Each structure stands twice: as C-alpha cells, then as structure tokens.
C-alpha cells in the first residue's frame, strides 16, 4: 500500500526501530506541515493510507472528497477533533488509533512547572551572557497544585506532585472527581475555588466538543497574581486569546505552555512567545523516543492488521 506520513518535523520516523513494520509498503514521508486544501490534495492524492502524528494535519470533508484512493487513516495516539469522522464513515475510509503511556508528557509538565517556578531559562541565559543570579525562584513543595482532569496523565501528576510535597487537589467531570476521591486525592470545593486558590494550575483534559474552550477569561481572572498556569495538553482548551490577555492583566501572573492554536509556530508567530511572563516550548510533551516507538509502532501495526482484514483499534 502507498503510505504517506506527513509532519515528521525531526525526520525521525524512518530511524525508529518500529519503522521496519512498514517493509513491503511504499512509504512517503514529509518533514513539514501544509495547510491549504490544494497543498494537502497534492500531498495525499495517491495515498491509500495516511499516518497522522497527533493533530498536526487536519483531515476535513473537503479534503476527503478529493482523495479517492484513501482507504485508511492510522492515528498516532487517540483521535481528537482534527479528523471528520462522519465524513470518513460516509466515504468508507477506515480510521484506527492507539494509545501511549503518558509518562513522557507527565514528565514534561513537571519540567515546565519547575522551570517556570525557578526562572530556570532566564537564569541559564543570564549565565551565558556573563551575569550571575538575577531572581529568587519558588519551590513546588508546600504549594497548592491544581490538576484539571484526572485521566492517565492527570493521575500521574497527582502522584508526582505529592512526592514533591505539593498540596494536590483535582477538578473535572463528576466521574473524574469520583475516581480521584476513591484514590484518596483531594477534590476542590468548587470550580471557583479551584481557580482562585491554586498556586499552580495544570490542564490535563482531552480535547473534545465538551472541553473545547472550557477555560474562560472569567476563570483566569480568578487566579492569583503569582499563580502559574501550565498547559501541555491542548491550546484549544482555553478560550481563544484569553490566556494572552490574562497574562497581560496579571492574573495569572505566569504561564508555561507547550501547545498553541496554530502549529507549528515559526518566526515567533504566536503572541505568547513575546510575553516575559510566559515560558514557551515547541510541543515537546509526547516527543520522546520510547513514546514515539509506542505511538508509531501501534499506528504501523494497525496498517498491517487492516491489510489482513483485522480492524483492531478501529474508530470508524
């Protein structure tokens, strides 16, 4: 089958151990992202299979109507809002997804949190510029760490936060809070208290129609002036433009983000990168070797299973 893999920014997929699973197939890899319909059509017009890296490429109805050869979309990780599943079903395009451990993303969340609290990047840059200490950081221990969402990664962060000595509590769907409570994790008394009293607030929600823009400007306005908001999940969880405006107004006082509304972000195109109180990283949460082997390995297994008539991990 002809397989097209777009968005391999680091040109790493061909070097993964799991890549051998595609031997016998014709594989075309692109190391960038295109956004216009015509560019996507040119890229995918002969593809029988598209392997999607997370949500880097959007597959909508207009595009699907221009791809008569497409039979399968194999998604790395779980499916989100970037693929029109209804149109796929109508066009007879099978969609399959997979999963990962979440460990790499949990680690990145902690890295962002500690780096922001300790002003780490600024201090390293000062030393490179020939200067010495320029700020006094803060520790995680003893501070109120709020985790919004109690899925696989949220649960890991609750455990890690407790190890660091943080006062962890959770907010989210009723079912999530019930699971957290059963695990002995404290539940915030209300949504308002969760935003107003958390010293560090970490977003750990999956993006779906219910969670899109779930964090509003009003929520952010409740946060402390010295609070830190960490978002390594999805930018679309926050109301468009709300975090930028909130940081300018000083509530919360700081943010650390790994995700953006339009990716990749090149040439400082996102306004958050221009704010001195926002630590920005280029969506590194799941970008880790073991994680890639798992994500792509499952995506490639799905293709071979499809060829054999096995629809394991089928979404539609």
The predicted structure's pLDDT at residue 80? 87
Residue 100 has pLDDT above 80, yes or no: no
Cα distance between residue 202 and residue 170, in whole Å: 10
Question: What is the pLDDT confidence band of residue 16, given thresholds at 50, 70 and 90?
Answer: very high
Which residue pairs, CB below 8 angstroms and at least 24 apart, start in 302-306?
Answer: 302/72, 302/74, 302/96, 302/97, 302/98, 303/1, 303/3, 303/21, 303/22, 303/25, 303/49, 303/51, 303/72, 303/74, 304/21, 305/96, 306/49, 306/71, 306/72, 306/74, 306/94, 306/96
The answer to whether domain 2-101+288-307 and domain 103-280 are alike in fold is yes
User: Which pTM was predicted?
Assistant: 0.95
- CATH number for the region 103-280 comes to 3.40.50.720
The domain limits of the chain are 2-101+288-307, 103-280
- Local structure of 266: helix, strand or coil: coil
The predicted structure's pLDDT at residue 37? 98
pLDDT digits (tens, 9 = 90+) for 170-211: 999 999 999 999 999 999 999 999 999 999 999 999 999 999
Pairing mode of beta strands 200-203, 228-231: parallel
Largest CA distance in the chain: 63
% of the chain surpassing 90 pLDDT? 97
- CATH number for the region 2-101+288-307 comes to 3.40.50.720
- Local structure of 243: helix, strand or coil: helix
pLDDT digits (tens, 9 = 90+) for 138-181: 999 999 999 999 999 999 999 999 999 999 999 999 999 999 99
Cα distance between residue 156 and residue 149, in whole Å: 11
Residue 316 has pLDDT above 90, yes or no: yes
Question: What is the pLDDT confidence band of residue 312, given thresholds at 50, 70 and 90?
Answer: confident
Helical ranges in 222-268 per DSSP H: 242-249
The predicted structure's pLDDT at residue 102? 82
């Amino acid at each position: 089958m002809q397989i097209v893999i777009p968005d391999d920014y680091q040109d790493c997929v061909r070097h993964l151990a799991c890549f051998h699973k595609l031997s016998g197939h014709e594989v075309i890899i692109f190391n960038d992202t295109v956004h216009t319909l015509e560019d996507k059509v040119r890229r995918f017009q002969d593809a029988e299979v598209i392997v999607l890296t997370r949500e880097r490429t959007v597959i909508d109805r207009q595009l699907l109507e221009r791809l008569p050869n497409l039979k399968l979309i194999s998604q790395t990780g779980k499916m989100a809002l970037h693929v029109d599943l209804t149109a796929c079903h109508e066009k007879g395009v099978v969609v399959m997804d997979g999963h990962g451990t979440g460990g790499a993303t949990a680690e990145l969340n902690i890295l962002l949190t500690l780096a922001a609290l300790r002003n780490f990047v600024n201090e390293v840059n000062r030393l490179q510029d020939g200067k010495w200490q320029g700020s006094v950081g803060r520790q995680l221990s003893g501070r109120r760490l709020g985790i919004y969402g109690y899925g696989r990664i949220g649960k890991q962060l609750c455990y890690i936060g407790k190890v660091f000595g943080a006062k962890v509590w959770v907010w989210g769907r009723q079912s999530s809070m019930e699971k957290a409570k059963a695990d002995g994790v404290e539940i915030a008394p209300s949504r308002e208290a969760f935003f107003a009293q958390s010293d560090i607030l970490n977003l750990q929600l999956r993006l779906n129609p219910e969670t899109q823009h779930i964090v509003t400007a009003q929520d952010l306005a409740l946060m402390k002036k010295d609070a830190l908001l960490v978002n390594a999940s999805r930018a679309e969880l926050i109301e468009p433009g709300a975090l930028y405006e909130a940081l300018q107004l000083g509530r919360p006082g700081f943010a650390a983000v790994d995700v953006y509304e339009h990716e990749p972000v090149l040439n400082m195109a996102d306004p958050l990168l221009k704010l001195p109180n926002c630590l920005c990283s280029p969506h590194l949460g799941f970008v880790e070797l073991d994680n890639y082997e798992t994500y792509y390995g499952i995506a490639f297994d799905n293709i071979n299973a499809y060829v054999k008539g096995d629809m394991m991990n089928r979404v539609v």
